[in-house]
C-alpha cells in the first residue's frame, strides 16, 4: 500500500541502518537517504492518501498539500546538508538520532490526523534529546534532561488537548480552530512549548548550545519550525499569536544582546525569528500565512548556515565565547563569507532570502492596518541586524585580533555551507522560485525601489548604532537569568529551606518511631520469643508448651464468644 | 611566525579611518536616495524623509539601553548554575 507510505519512513530506516553500516556504506546511507526522502516528498499528491482503521479511529498517515510539501522539502534538504556537514565528525549514534529526529519532523509535515501528528511529535522529542546528549559533556547531560522534561511535558499537554478534542468532536482530523475552549487551549500550549514561546522558551537557549558543533545544526532546524507548521495547520488567524509572536521577537533580541556564547546568541535569534512566524500566523491573512511558510523555509537555511559557521569555529578553535574569539577572517575566509551571507539573510538585507520572505509578514501587518504590529516588526528587523547580523560575525571573525590562526572548514563542511549560502542568495534574487511553492497564490512584489531604500536606511543606520554603541556592549563572562531560574535555582532552594524547616519535626518523629520499635521488640520478646539461646528452657508467654486441657479450655472460650457475637 | 605577529589588515588605524569614511558616505547616500525613489508609507509617518534611518537608529539605541538595564538585573557570573547542578 504505497499510499500509506510516509516519506518519513525512509529516514527512519536510514536512522536504524546507520549504526550497523560501516565505512563508505554509512557515508552513502547518510547522503542518499535524505535525497531519496526528498524525491518521495514530491511524489505525494495533494489530499488524504488513504485511511487505516485503528481502534475506532480513522488514521490518515499521509496527507499531501502545498504547505506540507514545502515544510517536508526543507526538512529533507536540511537533513541532507546537515548529514553532509556532520558525517566525518559526528559519531554514528548522533547521526542516527539526528535522522530519526528529521524523520519525526517530516512525519509531522504529512500527518493527516492528530494521532499521527502526536506520534511523530514525540519521536522528535525523544531523538532531539539524544542529539543534545551527544554533546558529551556533563553540562550537555544536565541540559538534555531539562530539555527532555520540558518536551515530554509539552507532549502531555498536547495529548490532553487532543484527547479533549477527540472526545468533544469525535474527529481526529487536523483542521483550523481557534483557542476557545480548554481543549484547544491545551493543544495551543503544547505546540507553543515547542515553538519556544514565553514563558517556556528557556529550554532552547539552554540546550542547543550544549550539543556538539554538528548536533546544533540539526537542532536549529526541526523542532521550532514543526511547531510553526502545526500552528499554520491548526491555528491560522488566532489573535493571541500576534502578541505571543511580538513578545518572542523582542525577547530574542534583548537576550541575544546580553549573551557571550556564540551559539547561544544564535539560539536566542531562533526565538526572535520564530516570533515573526508566530505573529504572521496570528495575523492570519493569505499573505501572512504565505509569509510565515516562506520565512520558515528561508529561516531553516540561513539559521543552519549560521550554526554551521559557528560549528566550524568551535571545531577549529575549541572556543565558543565572543570574548575569546576575534580576527578569524584572515585564516577562515570561506567560513567568514558564508557566515556573513547567513547574517545578512537573517537581517533581511536586500538580495538575500530574509528580505523576500520576512517583508511579506510586515506587508501583511500593514495591509491589515496593524500599526503597532508593523512598527514593532520593523523595529525588530533593525534589532535582528544589531544582534545577529553584525554582532555575531563581528565578534567572531573581526573585532580585535585574538591571536588564533585556525584552519578554514574541512571540505564537507565548506560544501554544506556553500550549498545553503547559494540557496539564501537564490531565494533573495529570484523570490518567484520560492513563491510558487507557497500554499496560497502570491500576488506580492518583493522588490520596489522605495522598499529597498527604506530597508537599507533601517539596516545601515542600525549598523551605525552598533558601532557607536560598541562600548555599551562589552562582552561579559555571564549567563542571563530566564524563567528556568525558577526550577534551576528557586525550586531547589525552596526544597532545601523546607528540609531545614522540617528537620526538627523529622527528628522528633524519628525518635518516636524508634521508641515504638523498641517497645514492640521488648513486647515480642517477652510474650512470643525465646529471649536467650536456642537450647534455653526459658520461653516467652506464648512460646511455651501448654497442657492440652488449657488449650481445650481456651478453644471452648473462643467458640462461646464467637457464638455470642454471632447472635448479637 | 612573522606572519602571525603582523597587525591584521582591519586592525590598522588608517584602514579603520577609511572604512568609517566609506560607511558615512554610504549612509548619506541611502538617505539621499529617498529624494529620488518614492518610499511608500503605509501609516503616513513611515513615508517621511529619512524615517527608516532615524527609526532604525533610535530603535537600536533603545534596545541596547534596555538590554543594559535588564542586564544589570539578569546577568550572573558564568558558573552561577554550577553549584546547583553539574554544569561544567
> What's A327-349 look like in SS3?
CHHHCCHHHHHHHHHHHHHHCCC
Chain B residues 14-43 within an 8 A CB cutoff of chain A: 23, 26-27, 30-31, 33-34, 37-40, 42-43
ipTM of this complex: 0.88
Q: Please report how the helices A114-133 and A223-234 are oriented relative to each other, as an axis angle in degrees rounded to 10.
A: 160
Q: How far apart are CA A293 and CA A357, in angstroms?
A: 9
Which residue bears the cell 498539500?
A65
Shared domain check, A243 and A231: no
Would you state the cell numbers that stand for residue B22, as one nine-digit string?
Answer: 566609506
| DSSP codes of every residue in A511-539 | HHHHHHHHHHHHHHHHHTS--S-TT-S--
Domain hosting A558: range is 528-568
Shared domain check, A471 and A564: no
Minimal C-alpha gap between B14 and chain A (Å): 15
Chain B residues with CB-CB distance to A396 below 8 A: none
The domains of chain B are located at 1-37, 40-82
CB distance from B80 to chain A under 8 Å? Answer: yes
| Pairwise CB contact (< 8 Å): B63 & A253 | yes
* pTM for the model: 0.88
Shared domain check, A490 and A536: no
Condensed to tens digits (0 to 9), the pLDDT of residues B43-72 reads: 878 888 889 999 999 999 999 999 999 999
pLDDT for A361: 96
Shared domain check, A203 and A67: yes
pLDDT for B53: 93
Minimal C-alpha gap between A299 and chain B (Å): 22
* Helical ranges in A437-547 per DSSP H: 449-468, 485, 491-527
Pairing outcome for strands A47-48 and A52-54: unpaired
Shared domain check, A149 and A31: yes
Specify the number of domains making up chain A. Answer: 4
Query: Which of A396, A406, A411 lies closest to A87 in space, CA to CA?
Result: A411
CA A364 to chain centre: 27
Chain B residues with CB-CB distance to A451 below 8 A: 39-40
The strand pairing partners of A479, in sequence order, are B76
Chain B residues with CB-CB distance to A478 below 8 A: 71, 75-78
| Pairwise CB contact (< 8 Å): B74 & A481 | yes
Task: Chunk chain A into consecutive blocks of 10 residues (it has 568) and report each block's average pLDDT, rounded to whole numbers.
Answer: 83 95 93 96 91 88 94 97 95 96 96 95 96 94 95 96 93 91 95 94 94 95 96 95 96 93 94 96 96 96 96 94 89 95 94 94 94 94 91 89 88 96 96 94 91 93 93 86 90 92 91 94 78 62 81 94 91
* pLDDT higher than threshold 70 for residue B3: no
pLDDT for A537: 63
Phi, psi of A207 (to 5 degrees): -90, -45
| Pairwise CB contact (< 8 Å): A457 & B71 | no
* pLDDT higher than threshold 60 for residue B1: no
Shared domain check, A63 and A50: yes
Shared domain check, A341 and A430: yes
Q: How far apart are CA A228 and CA A289, in angstroms?
A: 10
Question: Residue A199: is the preceding peptide bond cis (ω within 30°)?
Answer: yes
Shared domain check, A148 and A50: yes
Q: How far apart are CA A34 and CA A31, in angstroms?
A: 6
Chain B residues with CB-CB distance to A454 below 8 A: 39, 46, 51-52
pLDDT for B87: 43
pLDDT for A267: 96
Mean pLDDT of chain B: 83
Shared domain check, A498 and A446: no
pLDDT for B10: 79
DSSP annotation of B38 reads P
Shared domain check, A110 and A23: yes
Contact A368, A294 (CB under 8 A): no
* pLDDT higher than threshold 50 for residue B85: no
Contact A139, B87 (CB under 8 A): yes
Q: How far apart are CA A86 and CA A95, in angstroms?
A: 8
Confidence band of B8 (pLDDT split at 50, 70, 90): confident
| Pairwise CB contact (< 8 Å): B60 & A401 | no
Mapped onto helix, strand or coil, the DSSP state of residue A236 is coil
Candidate from B23, B70, B85 with C-beta closest to A142: B85
Shared domain check, A262 and A154: no
Candidate from B10, B64, B73 with C-beta closest to A472: B64
CA A177 to chain centre: 23
pLDDT for A73: 97
* pLDDT higher than threshold 60 for residue B84: no
Shared domain check, A327 and A458: yes
Which residue bears the cell 501609516?
B43
Q: Residue A245, exposed/middle/buried by CB under 10 A (0-12, 13-18, 19+)? A: buried
Greatest C-alpha distance within chain A = 118
Distances from the Cα of A488 to the Cα of A153, A155, A381, B84, B85, angstroms: 16, 21, 32, 7, 8
* pLDDT higher than threshold 60 for residue B4: no
What sign results for the dihedral spanned by CA atoms B14, B15, B17, B21?
positive
CA B17 to chain centre: 17
Minimal C-alpha gap between A250 and chain B (Å): 9
Shortest CA distance from A459: residue in chain B: B56
Q: How far apart are CA B26 and CA A464, in angstroms?
A: 11
Amino acid at each position: 500500500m504505497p499510499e500509506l507510505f510516509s516519506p518519513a519512513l525512509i529516514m527512519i530506516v536510514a536512522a536504524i541502518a546507520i549504526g550497523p553500516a560501516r565505512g563508505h556504506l554509512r557515508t552513502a546511507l547518510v547522503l542518499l537517504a535524505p535525497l531519496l526522502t526528498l524525491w518521495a516528498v514530491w511524489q505525494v499528491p495533494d489530499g488524504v492518501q488513504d485511511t487505516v482503521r485503528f481502534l475506532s479511529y480513522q488514521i490518515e498517515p499521509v496527507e499531501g498539500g502545498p504547505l506540507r510539501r514545502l515544510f517536508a522539502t526543507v526538512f529533507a534538504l536540511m537533513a541532507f546538508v546537515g548529514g553532509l556537514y556532520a558525517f566525518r565528525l559526528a559519531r554514528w549514534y548522533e547521526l542516527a538520532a539526528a535522522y530519526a529526529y528529521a524523520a519525526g519532523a517530516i512525519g509531522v509535515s504529512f500527518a493527516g490526523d492528530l494521532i499521527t501528528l502526536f506520534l511523530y511529535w514525540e519521536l522528535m522529542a525523544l531523538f532531539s534529546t539524544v542529539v543534545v546528549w551527544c554533546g558529551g559533556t556533563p553540562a550537555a547531560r544536565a541540559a538534555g534532561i531539562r530539555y527532555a522534561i520540558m518536551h515530554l511535558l509539552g507532549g502531555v499537554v498536547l495529548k490532553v488537548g487532543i484527547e479533549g478534542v477527540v472526545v468533544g468532536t469525535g474527529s481526529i482530523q487536523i483542521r483550523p480552530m481557534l483557542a476557545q475552549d480548554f481543549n484547544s487551549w491545551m493543544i495551543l500550549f503544547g505546540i507553543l512549548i515547542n515553538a519556544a514561546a514565553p514563558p517556556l522558551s528557556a529550554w532552547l537557549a539552554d540546550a542547543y548550545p550544549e550539543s556538539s558543533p554538528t548536533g546544533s545544526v540539526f537542532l536549529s532546524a526541526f523542532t521550532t519550525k514543526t511547531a510553526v507548521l502545526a500552528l499554520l495547520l491548526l491555528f491560522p488567524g488566532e489573535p493571541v499569536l500576534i502578541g505571543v509572536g511580538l513578545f518572542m521577537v523582542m525577547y530574542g533580541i534583548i537576550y541575544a544582546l546580553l549573551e557571550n556564547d556564540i551559539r547561544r546568541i544564535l539560539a536566542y535569534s531562533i526565538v526572535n525569528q520564530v516570533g515573526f512566524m508566530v505573529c504572521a500566523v496570528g495575523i492570519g491573512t493569505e499573505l501572512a500565512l504565505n509569509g510565515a511558510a516562506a520565512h520558515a523555509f528561508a529561516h531553516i537555511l540561513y539559521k543552519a548556515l549560521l550554526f554551521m559557521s559557528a560549528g566550524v569555529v568551535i571545531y577549529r578553535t575549541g572556543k565558543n565565547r565572543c570574548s575569546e574569539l576575534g580576527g578569524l577572517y584572515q585564516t577562515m575566509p570561506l567560513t567568514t563569507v558564508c557566515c556573513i551571507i547567513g547574517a545578512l539573510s537573517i537581517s533581511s538585507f536586500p538580495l538575500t532570502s530574509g528580505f523576500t520572505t520576512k517583508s511579506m509578514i510586515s506587508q501583511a501587518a500593514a495591509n491589515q492596518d496593524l500599526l503597532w504590529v508593523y512598527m514593532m516588526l520593523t523595529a525588530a528587523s533593525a534589532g535582528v541586524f544589531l544582534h545577529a547580523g553584525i554582532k555575531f560575525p563581528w565578534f567572531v571573525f573581526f573585532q580585535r585580533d585574538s591571536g588564533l590562526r585556525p584552519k578554514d572548514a574541512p571540505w564537507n563542511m565548506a560544501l554544506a555551507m556553500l550549498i545553503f549560502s547559494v540557496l539564501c542568495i537564490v531565494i533573495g534574487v529570484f523570490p518567484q522560485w520560492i513563491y510558487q511553492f507557497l500554499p496560497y497564490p502570491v500576488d506580492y512584489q518583493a522588490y520596489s525601489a522605495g522598499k529597498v531604500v527604506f530597508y537599507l536606511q533601517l539596516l545601515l543606520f542600525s549598523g551605525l548604532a552598533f558601532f557607536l554603541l560598541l562600548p555599551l556592549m562589552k562582552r561579559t563572562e555571564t549567563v542571563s537569568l530566564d524563567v528556568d531560574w525558577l526550577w534551576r535555582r528557586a525550586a531547589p532552594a525552596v526544597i532545601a529551606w523546607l528540609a531545614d524547616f522540617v528537620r526538627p519535626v523529622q527528628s522528633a518523629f524519628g525518635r518516636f518511631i524508634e521508641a515504638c520499635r523498641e517497645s514492640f521488640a521488648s513486647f515480642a520478646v517477652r510474650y512470643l520469643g525465646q529471649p536467650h539461646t536456642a537450647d534455653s528452657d526459658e520461653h516467652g508467654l506464648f512460646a511455651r508448651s501448654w497442657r492440652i486441657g488449657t488449650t481445650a479450655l481456651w478453644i471452648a472460650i473462643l467458640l462461646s464468644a464467637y457464638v455470642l457475637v454471632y447472635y448479637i | 611566525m612573522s606572519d602571525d605577529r603582523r597587525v591584521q589588515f582591519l586592525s590598522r588605524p588608517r584602514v579603520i579611518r577609511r572604512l568609517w569614511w566609506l560607511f558615512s558616505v554610504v549612509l548619506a547616500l541611502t538617505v539621499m536616495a529617498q529624494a529620488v525613489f518614492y518610499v511608500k508609507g503605509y501609516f503616513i509617518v513611515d513615508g517621511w524623509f529619512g524615517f527608516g534611518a532615524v527609526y532604525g537608529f533610535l530603535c537600536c539605541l533603545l534596545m541596547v539601553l534596555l538590554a543594559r538595564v535588564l542586564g544589570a538585573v539578569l546577568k550572573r557570573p558564568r558558573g552561577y548554575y554550577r553549584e546547583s547542578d553539574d554544569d561544567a
